[in-house]
């Protein structure tokens, strides 16, 4: 199926501005994204994500032939991360995050439902090395959840937007955190806790 992408900036403006601030030695601010649970393409489901200036930052367009994977793209339609469901997982529902597009074979992070205590999901690096996993606490369905690093610092947060329901919400990412990766984690959370998820909606 031919996928048509609009004429948009070649890279995410939010990511470019964060990189420019780092190079200039300026103090970075948290990145705030507005996430709309709707694809801009006809007959597609997905996300359209805008930065604080209203520029298109990311997009997700899920077609009816998707097989257990969702691709997070930059404004030009280039894949940033691919999120795939781990098949035959004995440890519960788990989604793997790959850097790049459909050809990617080695996952960089695994997002697993649960985790004990207040945790609704755990985000663990696949490369090992003793890095502590991230814990996600709260309620994705209510658009109120926080991602904590191994030192219990809030590194990203999903927040509701007032008076617009759950189809539009805010993602706030703290400085030093990969914004694209944070958005990929949101995509994985939507697959596990969204009702319906991007993939489940086609089979319902």
CA distance from start to end of the chain: 22
What's 124-161 look like in SS3?
Answer: EECCCCCCCCEEEEEECCCCEEEEECCCCCEEEEEEEC
pLDDT at position 26, please?
Answer: 62
- What's the pLDDT score for residue 165? 81
- Torsions phi, psi of 116, nearest 5? 95, 150
Reported as a single tens digit per residue, the pLDDT across 144-191 is: 999 999 999 999 999 999 877 889 999 999 999 999 999 999 999 999
Q: Which residues of the chain register pLDDT less than 70?
A: 1-26, 64-67, 89-91, 128-130, 195-204
What pLDDT, on a 0 to 100 scale, did the predictor assign at position 130? Answer: 65
Phi and psi at 45, nearest 5°, equal -120, 155
Q: What is the pLDDT of residue 19?
A: 52
Site of tokens 């367009």: 61
Domain edges within the chain: 29-194
- Contact between 143 and 136 (Cβ < 8 Å): no
What's the CATH number for 29-194?
Answer: 2.40.160.200
Answer positive or negative: Cα dihedral of 85, 123, 144, 176: negative
CA distance 176 to 58: 19
**Full-model pTM:** 0.81
């Amino acid at each position: 199926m031919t996928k048509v992408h609009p004429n948009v900036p070649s890279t995410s403006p939010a990511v470019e501005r964060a990189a420019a601030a780092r190079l200039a030695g300026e103090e970075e601010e948290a990145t705030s994204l507005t996430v709309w649970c709707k694809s801009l393409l006809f007959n597609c489901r997905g996300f359209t994500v805008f930065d604080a200036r209203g520029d298109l930052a990311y997009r997700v367009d899920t077609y009816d032939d998707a097989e257990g994977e969702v691709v997070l793209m930059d404004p030009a339609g280039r894949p940033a991360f691919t999120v795939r469901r781990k098949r035959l997982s004995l440890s519960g529902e788990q989604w793997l995050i790959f850097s790049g597009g459909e050809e990617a074979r080695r996952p960089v992070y695994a997002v697993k439902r649960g985790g004990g205590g207040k945790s609704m999901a755990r985000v663990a690096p696949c490369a090992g090395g003793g890095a502590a996993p991230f814990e996600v606490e709260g309620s994705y369905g209510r658009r109120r959840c926080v991602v904590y690093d191994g030192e219990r610092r809030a590194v990203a947060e999903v927040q509701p937007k007032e008076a617009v329901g759950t189809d539009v919400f805010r993602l706030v990412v703290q400085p030093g955190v990969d914004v694209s990766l944070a958005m990929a984690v949101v995509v994985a959370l939507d697959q596990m806790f969204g009702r319906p998820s991007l993939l489940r909606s086609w089979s319902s």
